[in-house]
Amino acid sequence: MSADYNVFITEETIEGADDGLLADSTVAVKDNISTEGVRTTCGSEMLDDYVPPYDATVVEKLKDAGATIVGKANMDEFGMGSTTETSAYGAAENPAAPGHVPGGSSGGSAAAVAAGEADVALGSDTGGSIRNPAAFCGVVGIKPTYGLVSRYGLVAYANSLEQIGPLAPTVEEAAELLDVISGPDGNDATTRDEGDGSDYASAATGEVEGTTVGVPTELVEGADEGVRERFEAALDDLREQGATVEEVSLPSVEHAVEAYYVIAMSEASSNLARFDGVRYGHSGGFDGNWNETFSKAREEGFGEEVKRRILLGTYALSAGYHDKYYKQAQDARAWVKQDFDEAFESVDVLASPTMPTPPFEVGESLEDPLQMYLADANTVPVNLADLPAISVPAGEVDDGLPVGIQFIGPAFGEAEIIRVGSAVEN
Amino acid sequence: MSDTSAGSEESAPGPEEVRHVADLARVGLDDDEVERFTDQFADILDYFETLDEVPEVERDADLVNVMREDEVRDSLSQDEALANASETEDGYFKGPNVS
């Protein structure tokens, strides 16, 4: 049986080196990560025929590790969406929950792993885009600390927030893939040395004796009852294995969603200004002057969610509104960071449901963008604070809808969240 | 609340302002999109207003500049750089008139 979940935008085999850590592994790569000579669309009409002339650093690392790339995975257009329904190449489906979305924006990557179309996958996470589809598809996803993984060759949406990270069936396999892609890169000045020569895979020991898990009440209150039950059951399980669970409060996270969207949209409006159809991308033809041609190319090439975010970002940065929206969002970001810092003085990791709901039904969230944005409440604080987080399957509700539990660590605390995450699998 | 110098009124942008922002962003919109965005922006910007409740936070930025020598390195060839352009001429990108 080979059901078509519309996992790939481009199916193409890219062979890696003969041996290495991933010599026996197939990998799906999200279609916003550049692959030399292989079309990279970002899920957009705008880049329908764009063929990058170079590899992203993470793709070079995959090849060096002997991985076989099996395709470019479907995604929300330019990473903007929480369901993989805004792809210009049609929605991906959730192999773990038919009739439901796989989550987004790395929905194709998560679905590829859930359906067995690839052993592991790379996604990118700007406000939850790895953890959300991991939770919805019943797989593991890691959003690394900002600066752990090179973004060179990742088509930028919101630079200050996004990181490339792994999706896999198990915590150990996700950690192994993270070992391959992490580390400093001369082509990305925001990378740091911490991931150099890492051995995160060996941290997946399932050992939580003596670990203190903090639960931010604000990130549990809004969750569906079924999701909360699964979450509490996973915590009970950790307690039985010797962990201590205590409540903590992070008042700042109440403002994380609005801060996240103001910052992400502002950065998007700037980043996506490069798509003018002249050097690459969909061209509107050359009737009229630059501005008219540029506007036409972008009207035709961009989908509605992308236009919505570019316009809101342009508005938020425009004269008179900058202080009102962007500056306040930066204050909120600093507050969120401070809150997390204080929490980690008393706990080792923080835990929450990854998503407050089980996977949405197909089409459910498209009409109301604000409702879709609110679904990211538990994942965006992590990106604002530049921290690492993992989503691990925590069972199902309603006969087959996957639920994920998220563990958040201090900066460069990947080993810690991998260790605790692996205990959930016990 | 806040006194903005631009933007004539305190309320959310109307259809004309949505068109104006779209012009600034160089994104063409059809009439349906203008109508939908006008409604949606009212809700979304109203929600963003809650940022007013955020206290001013001391940002102890431990930022450092990352510098490297500015040296000549390998780069894309001219052919590679032009490969994705819809129109080129004599080794250059060809674009529309600027004004």
CB A367 within 8 A of CB A100: no
Q: What is the pLDDT of residues A22-66, one digit of tens each?
A: 999 999 999 999 999 999 999 999 999 999 999 999 999 999 999
Report which DSSP code applies to B53. Answer: G
Mutate to test the interface with A, among B41, B43, B50, B54 (most CBs of A within 10 A): B54
CB-based contact (8 Å) between A6 and chain B? no
Report which DSSP code applies to A331. Answer: H
Closest residue to B83, CB basis, from A53, A269, A373: A53
Looking at the DSSP assignment, which residues form a beta bridge with residue A8? A73
Q: Looking at chain B, which residue has its C-alpha nearest residue A300?
A: B28
Closest by CA position to A62, among listed A33, A22, A31 = A22
ipTM computed for the complex: 0.92
**Residue A129 known to be catalytic:** yes
Query: Judging by DSSP bridges, how do beta strands B92-93 and A401-408 pair with one another?
Result: unpaired
CB contact under 8 A, B26 and A294: yes
* Beta strand ranges found along A178-228 (DSSP E): 212-216
Closest by CA position to A150, among listed A33, A26, A295 = A33
Helices (H) and strands (E) in chain B, counts: 3, 2
**Residue A61 known to be catalytic:** no
CB B34 within 8 A of CB B14: no
pLDDT at B8 > cutoff 80: no
Q: Got the DSSP string for A33-51? A: B-BTTB---TT-GGGTT--
Q: Which of A34, A129, A150, A252 is catalytic?
A: A129
CB-based contact (8 Å) between A1 and chain B? no
Q: What is the pLDDT of residues B57-84, one digit of tens each?
A: 887 677 888 888 999 999 999 999 999 9
Place of tokens 């009440």: A217
Q: What does the pLDDT read at residue A366?
A: 79
pTM score? 0.96
Closest residue to B54, CB basis, from A299, A318, A328: A328
Give the whole-angstrom CA distance, residue B13 versus residue A419. 49
Looking at the DSSP assignment, which residues form a beta bridge with residue A143? A389
Closest residue to B29, CB basis, from A255, A281, A307: A307
**Residue A105 known to be catalytic:** yes
Which residues from chain A sit within 8 angstroms of residue B95, using beta carbons? 276, 278, 286, 290, 293
Q: Identify whether B77 is preceded by a cis peptide bond (ω within 30 of 0).
A: no
What's the token pair of residue A174?
A: 């996700």
Looking at the DSSP assignment, which residues form a beta bridge with residue B64? none
Q: What is the pLDDT of residues A297-349, one digit of tens each?
A: 999 999 999 999 999 999 999 988 988 999 999 999 999 999 999 999 999 99
CA distances from A425 to A7, A135, A359 (A): 26, 14, 21
Contact residues, A window 363-422, toward B, CB-based 8 Å cutoff:
369-370, 373
Q: What is the pLDDT of residues A378-419, one digit of tens each?
A: 999 999 999 999 999 999 999 899 999 999 999 999 999 999
Q: Looking at chain B, which residue has its C-alpha nearest residue A187?
A: B68
Burial of A333 from C-beta contacts in 10 A (0-12 / 13-18 / 19+) = buried
Closest residue to A296, CB basis, from B28, B50, B66: B28
* Beta strand ranges found along A204-292 (DSSP E): 212-216, 244-248
Mutate to test the interface with A, among B5, B18, B26 (most CBs of A within 10 A): B26
CB A69 within 8 A of CB A29: yes
Identify the helix (H) or strand (E) that includes residue B2: none
Describe chain A by its helix, strand, coil percentages, rounded to 5. Answer: 35, 15, 45
Give the whole-angstrom CA distance, residue A188 versus residue A151. 6
* Beta strand ranges found along A47-185 (DSSP E): 68-73, 120-125, 140-143, 163-168
Mutate to test the interface with B, among A77, A258, A317 (most CBs of B within 10 A): A258
